[in-house]
Structure 1
Amino acid sequence: MNTKRRTFLQTVAGLVSLSALPGLATAKAPKKPLVVFVTGDHEYSGELTLPLIAAELEKNYGMRTKVLKAYPDYNGEKDIPGLEALKEADLAVFYLRWRQLPKEQLQFIDDYLKSGKPVMGFRTTTHAFNFPEGDERIRWNSFGEFAFGAPPGWGGKAAHTHYGHKSTTDVTIIPEAAKNPILTGVAPSFHASSWLYRVQPDYPAKGSTWLLMGKSVNPDKPAIENPVAWTWKNEWGGKAFLTTLGHPEDFQVESFQRLVINAIHWELGLPIPKKWKGKIDINVPYGHPKKS
């Protein structure tokens, strides 16, 4: 056998043996992260705004998404079908208000939290659950606290309240957070339609990183400035991001859109997008009948 032929056959044999190595020649592309949105609020149309964020993630940012909604509609407090999707989720995003879910559904959320995976929350998620005294599920009324470092429920000792439905909020980047990657492309200041939530003086929880500060415009009572977006690490080691903004008109503000898209990437451990794909077309009405 001549030298050239021998070399050729050795090369072919080498390629064959390499292809036999597990996962080498048949390596698959990395699996796209799955973001599961869990919605159910009485007022802010989270079941309409978050699907538009989900669509943007799939179209422009290489993610898979699933949006879960309260049954039979946003006023249905006792059923969110499909929560088993959290078993496969890489990020869970919550926009809830005063739900009373059955134990078997709460278990999916509990298992997810204890896995140490990241969580994200909007506005009324600070008071996501509302079980009566004596109910064995009452610890879930503090979901905002143990998942996000937010006040444990509405009112009470936490003095968690707002400054009136006729008020709005001026939002500014906290100077110490200006270089935080979550704030990439976010304007130094912008206006939000959300009336400011009071979380001070005891929240956000110790160890949180404050990103944005809110100042109430036209408050119905003496107002103080309050953080409106922060990150934290919960007791299971899960990264948490929460914003007390989330009025449907907030989702029309490009800086708020960027904040949300950036935060989702940060939660997943992905680089913040270097190039913004452009303003998202979100035009969802406010007007669910109940107030909070």
Structure 2
Amino acid sequence: MIRRTFLTLAAALLFSACFAADDFLSYEPKGEAKGKHVVLLAGDEEYRSEEAMPMLARLLSERHGFKTTVLFSVDAEGTVDPTAGGSLTNPAALDSADAIIMLLRFRNWDEATLGKFDAAVKRGIPIVALRTSTHAFSGIPKDSPYAAWNWNQDGGWGKKVLGETWVSHWGKHKFEACEGVIEEANATDPLLRGVTDVFGTSDVYEAYPPADAKILMRGRVLKGMTPDSGHADHVKPRATDKKEQPVNDPMMPIAWTRLVKNGAGTENKVLTTTMGAATDLTNESLRRLVVNGVYWGLGLEVPAQADVSLVGDYTPTAYGFKGYKQGVKVTDLK
């Protein structure tokens, strides 16, 4: 009877563990393992992070030997729901994260989840932040110790850590694409190895990283949505001082690095790019910048030409607030 009870309990625990794995994805390293765990956070309503993060996780695992885990926003039924701003599945994965890749927008996680994210950052792990991660948090209660992370509180977490918050669309949204232009002064930076013809259909953001940021790339606003559209030549009022400025003179920064001291006194190596929609990541050079960022952040030698060939099919959905696929379970994204 004791043995039967033990087996029943063991079976129940096994079922529970498998059930828990239904709301996140985990990939073991292939080939020569790097011994590092990269946690990817998907949670934005517009740019299809729920499609981009699994692709990057598979690539990092199979091509580069990293263990990867992808966490999602889900609804009460466990269906992927980018609009569920209070949700992050399996935040315990952050306890063992050696690096974070994030594409978040206006998240308001509960205190326990925010605490795990905060603890990971305070360990000094590197952060690769894409697109709307500059305004990752919103709606955190005023009495929370993390209320200052809200994007509209002096720029919030994005401004303090990444170096910028939400400012404006500098290119015309959905009409003017972005061409990446390497910052000549930093062209030999290891992060730019193998990074050449960066292009994305998401537009350029207005952005003013602080003086301690190292600009790697600027975004040329194009007249249309293809690489051969030609350069836009109109002017826009700057959100900071309302003075009009030609959109490409100077071009806005779209990728930069920082070394940031956090509240625990440790330092985080940070790579931020305001590109990173799932459709942008069909671009090989942009994927390579992200992969290079992981190597750089972890203190590993950045490959001369990192393998960023896709693992399996990747045909991402176009960005847009109403465009995410309905009824998708996390397990459907494996």
Taking structure 1 as the reference length, the TM-score comes to 0.80
Choose from 288, 292, 308 the match for 1:262: 292
Partner residue in 1 for 2:84: 76
Matched, 1:124 2:129: no
Q: Report the AA paired with residue 316 of structure 2.
A: V
Choose from 263, 271, 283 the match for 1:253: 283
Larger Rg: 1
Partner residue in 2 for 1:242: 272
Choose from 29, 37, 47 the match for 1:34: 37
Partner residue in 1 for 2:217: 212
Q: How far apart are residue 290 of structure 1 and its match?
A: 5.3
Partner residue in 2 for 1:176: 185
Q: Report the AA paired with residue 55 of structure 1.
A: R
CA gap of 1:66–1:133, structure 2 versus 1, over 3 A, is closer
SS at match of 1:113: helix
Structure 1: unaligned runs, 5 residues or longer: 1-28
Identity percentage of aligned residues = 30
Choose from 103, 109, 115 the match for 1:101: 109
Alignment root-mean-square deviation, CA:
2.2
CA gap of 1:102–1:278, structure 2 versus 1, over 3 A, is closer
CA–CA separation in structure 2 for the residues paired with 1:276 and 1:290: 34
CA gap of 1:80–1:289, structure 2 versus 1, over 3 A, is same
CA–CA separation in structure 1 for the residues paired with 2:300 and 2:53: 20
Higher alpha-carbon deviation: 255-264 or 269-278: 269-278
1:59-89 deviation line (CA, Å, top 9, x unaligned):
1111100000012211111110211211111
CA–CA separation in structure 2 for the residues paired with 1:68 and 1:263: 20
CA gap of 1:168–1:259, structure 2 versus 1, over 3 A, is same
CA gap of 1:230–1:283, structure 2 versus 1, over 3 A, is same
Choose from 197, 201, 218 the match for 1:193: 201
Q: How far apart are residue 197 of structure 1 and its match?
A: 0.3
Partner residue in 2 for 1:164: 172
Q: Report the AA paired with residue 259 of structure 2.
A: K
Q: How far apart are residue 147 of structure 1 and its match?
A: 2.1
Q: Report the AA paired with residue 43 of structure 1.
A: E
Q: How far apart are residue 170 of structure 1 and its match?
A: 1.8
Contact 2:33 2:65 in 1 (8 A): no
Higher alpha-carbon deviation: 279-288 or 57-66: 279-288
Partner residue in 2 for 1:19: none
Q: How far apart are residue 133 of structure 1 and its match?
A: 8.0
CA–CA separation in structure 1 for the residues paired with 2:308 and 2:37: 22
Q: How far apart are residue 30 of structure 1 and its match?
A: 7.6
**Count of paired positions:** 253
Contact 2:279 2:316 in 1 (8 A): yes
Q: How far apart are residue 167 of structure 1 and its match?
A: 1.4
Choose from 251, 257, 261 the match for 1:231: 257
Partner residue in 2 for 1:144: 158
CA gap of 1:275–1:31, structure 2 versus 1, over 3 A, is closer
Q: Report the AA paired with residue 284 of structure 2.
A: E
Q: Report the AA paired with residue 122 of structure 1.
A: L
Q: How far apart are residue 250 of structure 1 and its match?
A: 1.2
CA–CA separation in structure 1 for the residues paired with 2:124 and 2:321: 36
Structure with higher RCO (Cα < 8 A, 6+ apart): 2
CA–CA separation in structure 2 for the residues paired with 1:59 and 1:103: 34
Taking structure 2 as the reference length, the TM-score comes to 0.71
Partner residue in 1 for 2:25: none
SS at match of 2:261: coil
Higher alpha-carbon deviation: 245-254 or 37-46: 245-254
Partner residue in 2 for 1:56: 59
Contact 1:170 1:215 in 2 (8 A): yes
Partner residue in 2 for 1:47: 50
Partner residue in 1 for 2:314: 282
Q: How far apart are residue 46 of structure 1 and its match?
A: 0.8
CA–CA separation in structure 2 for the residues paired with 1:144 and 1:288: 22
CA–CA separation in structure 2 for the residues paired with 1:197 and 1:123: 9
